[in-house]
Every structure is written in C-alpha cells, then in structure tokens.
Structure 1
C-alpha cells in the first residue's frame, strides 16, 4: 500500500464517522505514523508504507473516529509556532488563546504569573518571546505541572520558570509581585457541557468548567490578583464570547483601570485586560 492509498482510506473512514475536516486529520495522523513533519507528507505519498505502518495508522484512525483529539494521538499540539506536549491531563491549546498571547506582548514585562497553567503553553510562549523575563505557573493538578515542566525544559526555559501547585493564587507567596498576570481559567458553565463537542470528554473536566456558572474563577482571580500586581501591572484573562461584561465588572470592582475587551480573529470577545493603578495601596 502506498502512502497515497493509506491516506485515501483514512480520509474515507474519518468522513464516514462525521469527523470535521477529515483530510486534515488524516494527513496529520499519517505524518505522525511515518515520523515526518506534516509539510513533507506530499513528498512520500507515492512510496510504499513501511512494514506495520498501515496497521498503526489504522489504530490511530479508529481512535480518532471515537472522537479522541488528534493531539492526544500524536502527543503534541502546535501553539504560536511551537510544539507543546499534550496529554489527557491538560487542556488542548486552542488557536483562540493566541489572542491572549498577542495582547500580553503589546507591553514589556519581566515578571510573569500564569494561573492554571495546564500544559504551560501560555507561560512558556510568553517567556520564549521575551528572553529577559521570568515566570511562575500555578495549577491545582500535579499531573498538569509535570507536563508544563517538560514543555519548559524542551524549550530551554527551565532556568527562567518555576511551578507551584495550588488553586489560583494560593500557591503564590504574599510578597510576590508581577508585571503581568495571565490566565485561561475554566469558563464553560456546567449547563453548557452536554452540548459541547465529543472531543472535550477526553480533556480534564476541571480545566473546562467550574461546575457552576462559568464565572467563579474570574471572581477569585480579579479579587486576589490586584495585591500581587506591581504598580501599572496588567491582568489579562481569556473569556467565553458572552462573558465580557461580567468579567469587566469584576475587574472594576477590584479597582483595576483601563479595562478593555479584545476580540479574536473571528471577531468574538476573547480577552479582558486591566491595569493596576499606581496609587492602589495593596
């Protein structure tokens, strides 16, 4: 069987299972099976498949037909031009989260805090983009922190980052101050979970929903982050598209200024940011 034939069969199986964009997923799975970069796949499609490769590809396609995310099958996901290790213990990095990265990079920072760091994709990306900065990532999950540390090590960031286990700011020293605090907290309301894509069943539920109205993390972060921000320090959070007004209100109640909502590439509200006044005492 040639690579082209294997690809055709994979696309047909994924299409029959109603997988969105079956051609894209089939190509990613075939490239992973062959151990090559996806961009090189076209060059090897006329060649015969190596021994056992067709069987390995078939097993991956079957798992994808069961709606397991491609990142879990390949073990990695591209985010902001870099590859990150991804497992079922962490949230799969989404393209829309790159909006948070873009907004964070609009002003300089040297001390960074990422709350609920998960895979570490936000923290590591920002540190990689800002060689003079150092950062801290917190997460309630020890398993997630292990993945984040592995990603930091792969990117050569281990000396500029530390990870602490705890809920939101509980793991942060009372004396720590940061120029920038970022977070992509669980913002899906519990009532919305049954209507989401089946792939989300393979991701950690704690990273998706607060089992309430989807706003509890923002209440905590807004109330507690101000005391850990340096004067003129920034707080930025990713939000669900309908949550902008509520989250801006939480920021205002906490005393933040210059509160803004930023949209993603699809024009949906995606990030809320605020700045600590230099006159704030705490």
Structure 2
C-alpha cells in the first residue's frame, strides 16, 4: 500500500512543473505529466485517477525530473519518441524524430510506389512509417552512424521487420547500387541545420552533432544526396528532402540544377519552409 505521506500524481506533477519551468524547459507541465505517466506505467490520460505514488515511484519520478531540469531530453528519459502513431526507441547516439517530419511522410504516402529508399534514416522513423502504411512495399533504410544503426535495427525489428537496414554513406554510389534506376520514392531527413544556428540545449548537448548540423549553411550533404537520389530513382520517380527554414529557395534551386523537374517547396504547420519535392525526368 502506498504511504499516506507520499504525493498524489497531481501534487507531484505540479511541483515538478515548477522545477522544470525554472530550469527553462519549454513545456514543463506536459513533460512532468509524461514523466509521471512513464513512472506509473499508465497512459497520460489516466493520471487524474491514478493512486498516490509508491515510495520507489516517487523517488524515480524525482530522479527523472532532476535530470530533465538539466535539459536531458524527455525522450532519453522515457526511452521513446512518438512518431506517426507509434513509439520509436531512442536514446544517446540517435537523432530524436520531430513532428514536422510526419508532413514529409504524409506527402510520400500520397504517391504510389513499391520501392522506397529512406536516406539518413537515423531511428528509422520515415522508413518504418512508410513500411507500416504499405506492407507490400520494399523499404530500404540507409544510415552511416554505427550508434544510430543500433537504434534503427532495434526499431525496425520491433515495428516493421520488412524494412531492409543498410549501413552506408548515403552519398556513396556503391550503396544500394542494386536498386539503381528502380526506386519509386527517395525520402531523406538529412543533417541540415547551419553550423552557427542557435538550437535548444537538448539538441546542442544530446542530439548527435553529425545528425543535426550540415556545415556552414546546412547544405553540405545536399548535392551528394541529390546525385545519389538521381541514381536510385526510376524515370518519373520522386524525391522529398526535409530542410532548414532558411533553405526554402536554395534547395529547390540545387535540385533544378541537378536535372530534377516538378520541383516544389512545402511549408510546415507554422508556415515555414520545411521540405522540397522533385521528380526525376521520365
């Protein structure tokens, strides 16, 4: 039985939210609720009816709140990140997927195609989302980082075993050379943040640097990705690349120069340039 002196979830969350707010956490109340739900092993929607925390639960909650106050990412503390209706396992060594990338997936799923390649796959978010929505598709996930690859394999095994995980440089013409000229869609969320751009503490200190930053203007990998996508795609196949909101003109211009047609830029829900799409001429 929980001890009478231990806090109710509501009281513990209120105290935690104040601690997190004073630490500069952007969403202190939400984070406190998610940590409490994690510790209690219940959905966040059941917190109002949950009983008092047990001694061990209260201690664990306080420990996690303390870590979150030092700006350790919430997802590293819970061990998972929501994406497209499922939960990805994440932690040190892999980029935490963002909600904005779901827009690219939604666009991709509006375009038919049996062979799909996800470059710079990271945790596998894009590849897994496509594979779950299209069980008959051949989906490839390419990742260079050995650390990220461990998370990718873990997520693919659990969530979409049909995804074919490939360890390799996404700009290397020998990677997936057996797929050359046959991919219907190539999708990519590469490192694209300009090197001197301000970022949250969580990103600066915990996301892998090479998964976030793409050189001085954030565009270092883009020419190589465009070349590799052109090699992978069949005539008439389509490409989608997520980008920084400063690249809404430069990336489309690069793809046009690389020979792609039907180039278009797309905005996120906040109205910021978010990803560019293009077609390989038939």
Return the TM-score normalized by structure 1: 0.93
| Aligned residue among 25, 30, 47 for 1:24 | 30
Query: What is the deviation of 1:223?
Result: 2.1
Query: What is the deviation of 1:212?
Result: 2.9
| Aligned residue among 60, 77, 81 for 1:73 | 77
In 2, Cα distance between equivalents of 1:98 and 1:260: 18
Aligned to 2:158: 154
Retained in 2: the 8 A contact 1:115–1:169?
no
Aligned to 2:113: 109
How big is each residue's C-alpha offset from its partner over 1:196-248, in whole Å with a ceiling of 9 and x where there is no partner?
A: 11011111001001233210111111122112101211110001112021111
Query: What is the deviation of 1:51?
Result: 2.5
Number of positions where the alignment pairs a residue of Structure 1 with one of Structure 2: 272
In 2, Cα distance between equivalents of 1:169 and 1:210: 14
Aligned to 1:141: 145
Retained in 1: the 8 A contact 2:79–2:89?
yes
Aligned to 2:216: 212
1:185 and 2:158 matched: no
Retained in 1: the 8 A contact 2:139–2:163?
yes
Q: Which runs of 4+ in 1 moved over 4 A?
A: none
In 2, Cα distance between equivalents of 1:103 and 1:168: 22
Aligned to 1:127: 131
SS in 2 for 1:243: coil
SS in 2 for 1:190: coil
| Long gaps (5+) in structure 2 | 1-5
Aligned to 1:197: 200
In 2, Cα distance between equivalents of 1:149 and 1:243: 31
In 2, Cα distance between equivalents of 1:75 and 1:56: 14
Q: CA RMSD in A?
A: 1.2
Query: What is the deviation of 1:27?
Result: 0.1
In 2, Cα distance between equivalents of 1:130 and 1:42: 37
Retained in 1: the 8 A contact 2:191–2:213?
yes
How big is each residue's C-alpha offset from its partner over 1:16-43, in whole Å with a ceiling of 9 and x where there is no partner?
A: 2121121100000000111112122222
| Aligned residue among 237, 248, 251 for 2:241 | 237
| Aligned residue among 163, 166, 173 for 1:164 | 166
In 2, Cα distance between equivalents of 1:152 and 1:140: 16
Query: What is the deviation of 1:174?
Result: 2.3
Query: What is the deviation of 1:166?
Result: 1.5
Retained in 1: the 8 A contact 2:9–2:48?
no
Retained in 2: the 8 A contact 1:259–1:272?
yes
Return the TM-score normalized by structure 2: 0.93
In 2, Cα distance between equivalents of 1:269 and 1:151: 29
